């Protein structure tokens, strides 16, 4: 992997904070990209970029960072929805490929369109899987689907699972992989399962999240006043997110050390 930095992409503050908290103290960033945190692990720099939610923002953030610095590898970390009945809340999914869902359908080679499947780097996969096995941590190995809107119902998750064969769904990984692939940068996605395939989230996120996927205080307050029954569920999702991303921070630290 050489001595160049690892680019690590995370969508939201709620995912970024537990990851950064696990790592050594941050260094001042010399990079122009929005929300980039520079962390040193031994002789390796990690550039952690907060992208905002959605494939367009993730791709744009990746392209900006790749233009600003030499990058040894790109990682997409964060939460995802489960698409397989065999994965449980909290399981980490080590991606073997990521699939970009475009215009309401999943594109594959046989569609006659440009493929939008991106393979994850085999060495990165092997190293991540070896670490998780050593920890005896619950994990699976398979495809991750990227979509452009929040998937909150079990019905939609089952439909996406049938179309794609993926184990989990997120909103960023394949878009980051596309930018990495165009520059021949090794890529890996590792996502933690926030909600299983049978779980309906039952929350109107569009009523209080801004365009980057961050909560707006006043709309959030209004939503919670109108839907007080969602408060325990939101607190639970926040706790799950924090626990998942703390483990991803530990994995990132081990990965950067193992590949130095």
- 209 assigned to some structural domain: no
- 64 assigned to some structural domain: yes
- Give pLDDT, residue 37: 84
How do residues 35-49 score in pLDDT, each as one tens digit?
688 888 878 889 999
- 233 assigned to some structural domain: no
91: exposed, middle or buried (Cβ count in 10 Å: 0-12, 13-18, 19+): buried
User: For residue 47, what are the domain limits?
Assistant: 5-200+242-258
Rounded CA gap, 189 and 128, in Å? Answer: 10
How do residues 49-73 score in pLDDT, each as one tens digit?
999 999 999 999 999 999 988 999 9
Q: Where are the alpha helices (DSSP H) in 165-230?
A: 173-182, 217-226
- 152 assigned to some structural domain: yes
- 116 assigned to some structural domain: yes
CATH number at residue 179: 3.40.50.1580
- 188 assigned to some structural domain: yes
- 66 assigned to some structural domain: yes
Beta bridge partners of 133: none
Domain count, the chain: 1
User: Cα torsion at 8, 9, 13, 17 (round to 10°)?
Assistant: -20
- Give pLDDT, residue 112: 44
165: exposed, middle or buried (Cβ count in 10 Å: 0-12, 13-18, 19+): middle
- 77 assigned to some structural domain: yes
- Pick from 86-95, 102-111, 149-158: least confident: 102-111
Predicted structure pTM score: 0.91
Q: Give the Cβ contact number of residue 208 at 10 Å.
A: 19
């Amino acid at each position: 992997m050489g001595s160049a930095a690892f680019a690590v992409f995370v969508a939201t503050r709620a995912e970024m904070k537990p990851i950064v908290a696990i790592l050594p103290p941050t260094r001042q960033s010399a990079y122009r990209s929005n929300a980039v945190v520079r962390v040193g692990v031994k002789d390796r720099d990690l550039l952690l970029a907060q992208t905002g939610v959605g494939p367009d923002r993730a791709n744009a953030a990746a392209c900006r960072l790749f233009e600003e610095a030499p990058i040894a590898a790109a990682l997409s970390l964060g939460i995802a929805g489960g698409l397989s009945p065999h994965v449980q809340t909290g399981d980490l999914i080590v991606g073997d490929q990521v699939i970009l869902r475009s215009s309401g359908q999943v594109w594959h080679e046989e569609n006659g369109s440009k493929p939008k499947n991106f393979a994850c780097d085999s060495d990165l996969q092997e190293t991540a899987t070896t670490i998780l096995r050593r920890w005896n941590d619950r994990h699976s190995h398979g495809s991750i689907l990227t979509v452009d809107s929040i998937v909150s119902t079990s019905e939609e998750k089952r439909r996406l699972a049938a179309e794609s064969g993926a184990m989990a769904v997120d909103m960023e990984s394949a878009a980051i992989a596309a930018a990495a692939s165009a520059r021949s940068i090794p890529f890996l996605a590792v996502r933690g399962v926030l909600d299983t395939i049978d779980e309906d989230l039952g929350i109107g996120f569009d009523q209080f999240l801004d365009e980057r996927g961050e909560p707006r205080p006043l709309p959030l307050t209004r939503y919670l006043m109108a839907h007080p029954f969602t408060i325990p569920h939101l607190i639970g999702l926040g706790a799950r997110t924090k626990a998942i991303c703390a483990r991803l921070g530990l994995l990132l630290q081990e990965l950067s050390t193992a590949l130095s």
